[in-house]
Amino acid sequence: MTDTAIDYAAVFQGLPGMVALLTPDLVYADANEEFLRMSGRTREQVVGRFLFDVFPDNPNDHAATGMRNLETSLRRVVATGERDTMALQRYDVESTTCPGKWDERYWSPVNAPVLDEDGKVVLLVHRVEEVTELIRARGTSGGSRTRVLEAELYTRARELQEVNERLRSAHAREREVALALQDAMLPTRRQGASHHRIAVRYRPAVGSLNVCGDWYDVVDLVGGNRIGVSVGDIVGHGLAAAGVMGQLRSALSATSRVADGPAQALDVLGRYANVVDGAESATVVTTFVDFDHHTITYSSAGHPPPVLVHPDGRVEFLDRATDPPLDARPDPMPRPQAHTTFSRGSTLVLYTDGLIERRREDIDKGLARLADSLVRHRNTDPEALADAVLLELLPHGGATDDTALIIVRL
């Protein structure tokens, strides 16, 4: 039998377990017959409605956390694109025949993503195994020892959930501090090269710790009408990564002002990275833009290539001077350098990998998406172009990696 001969809608409805499909906004898209039967709901009461409008927490139980835990799990799946298996949960269900009466229920949920070809989460598979009868049966037939063990199991599960919530809260506080630190260290459009049309964006990743690995910089260079434009990516997240990011950005900013070219600037930065804990395998690309001679000189240490969009829509990836990441070689070697020319009205774009990389997808697809977006919006000003690129390329639920973007109208 071929795939086209299989009625997958019928298969879904006939599944022996409770299964529902949710949108990334947690609205029921469908539910199989077993789900409706075991939850005591009709299709009209479920499909098309927000999850927690259908199944809210028991308002009579102020310690109830089941639905809150479920939402956390589902949001995590949307953000990461990864399956999440939950611990045993208690969340009561309101009777449809006796409003205000809540039935004590125990569930074992598993939540998994359905991805499109771009790796974006388009649906959530919410599979539930109800174990209420099992818990009750053990409690009545297994004697007092079994009831004590079941109660202890539930208590330990609740305690573990509380610990996880405290950890997430601590991580959230670290995230806030790290973001504030990064905001203080990263330049704004008004700092350096202010007479040029430049747009900069930084988007932190979704999650408590995935923040502060990426950075950008724009500096005025000595001699002529020149600027240095750079982006980099630190391996690691959180406050430690923010500290390393600040050191490398400051070092490259200072080095670029006195270096003969971007390759020499990265040579010096690589030697500095060798003595900075946490700088191992960091990537960076730097470009020197000469507005008098209409040239861009560039060098890359393991970073995705900058993009030069010419006024006629031709796209040029600056990938002829790519070398391993910082501190990747035991014995440093001179890094390569290349240059290209541009005409007035061209657009230079530097970015970090969070903008283009997706799970289970070749990076060339992400580069093609970026090029297409840049070409279609090339006649807009840099600020509008930056917003359009982020809107079209970043997942709607938020990316799982930092994204830095800098756009220069030449």
Confidence of residue 59 (pLDDT cuts 50, 70, 90): confident
pLDDT for the residue numbered 187: 58
Is residue 49 situated within a structural domain? yes
The closest alpha carbon to 78, from 399, 401, 403, 359, belongs to: 399
- Top pLDDT among 99 and 362 is at 362
My answer on whether 26 and 119 are in the same domain is yes
Query: Is residue 26 in a domain?
Result: yes
Asked if the structure places residue 35 within a domain, the reply is yes
Is residue 183 pLDDT above 80, yes or no? no
Does residue 100 form part of some domain?
Answer: yes
Q: Which range among 56-60, 199-203, 216-220, 293-297 shows the weakest confidence by mean pLDDT?
A: 56-60
Last residue of a domain, one of 120, 141, 162: 141
Check whether residue 100 and residue 195 sit in a common domain: no
Contact (CB, 8 A) for 385 and 407: yes
Q: How confident is the model at residue 52 (pLDDT cuts 50, 70, 90)?
A: confident
Q: Residue 170: inside a domain, yes or no?
A: no
Q: Where is average pLDDT lowest: 61-70, 114-123, 135-144, 270-279?
A: 135-144
The tally of domains found in the chain comes to: 2
Band of pLDDT at residue 191, cut at 50, 70 and 90:
very low
CATH number for 345:
3.60.40.10
The pLDDT assigned to 145 comes to 46
Task: Assess whether 129 and 246 both reside in one domain.
Answer: no
For residue 207, pLDDT over 60 is answered with no
Q: Residue 362: its pLDDT value, please? A: 87
Of 221-230, 327-336, 342-351, where does mean pLDDT reach its minimum? 327-336
Task: Please state the pTM of the whole predicted model.
Answer: 0.59
> Do 22 and 134 fall into the same domain?
yes
Residue 208 has pLDDT above 50, yes or no: no
**What domain range is 99 assigned to?**
3-141
61 CB-near residues (< 8 Å, 6+ apart)? 92, 102
**Cβ distance 106 to 133 under 8 Å?**
no
Helix (H) or strand (E) run with residue 22 in it: strand 18-22
Provide the total of helices (H) and of strands (E) in the chain, helices listed first. Answer: 11, 19
pLDDT digits (tens, 9 = 90+) for 324-346: 998 777 777 889 999 999 999 99
Of 168-172, 236-240, 308-312, where does the model show the most confidence? 308-312
Indicate the pLDDT class of residue 16, thresholds 50, 70 and 90. Answer: confident
Instruction: Say whether both 40 and 96 belong to one domain.
Output: yes
Least confident of 124-138, 176-190, 297-311: 176-190
| HEC per residue, 288-327 | EEECCCCEEEEEEECCCCCEEECCCCCEEECCCCEECCCC
161 in a structural domain: no
Q: What is the distance between the alpha carbons of residues 234 and 219, in angstroms, rounded to a whole number?
A: 20
Considering the domain architecture, whether residues 292 and 345 belong to the same structural domain is answered as yes
Residue 336: predicted pLDDT = 95
- Both 252 and 109 in a single domain? no
Query: Which pLDDT score is estimated for 97?
Result: 73
Question: Residues 6 or more apart from 219 whose CB is under 8 A from it?
Answer: 192, 193, 227, 228, 253, 256, 257
Q: Is residue 28 within 8 Å of 22, Cβ to Cβ?
A: yes
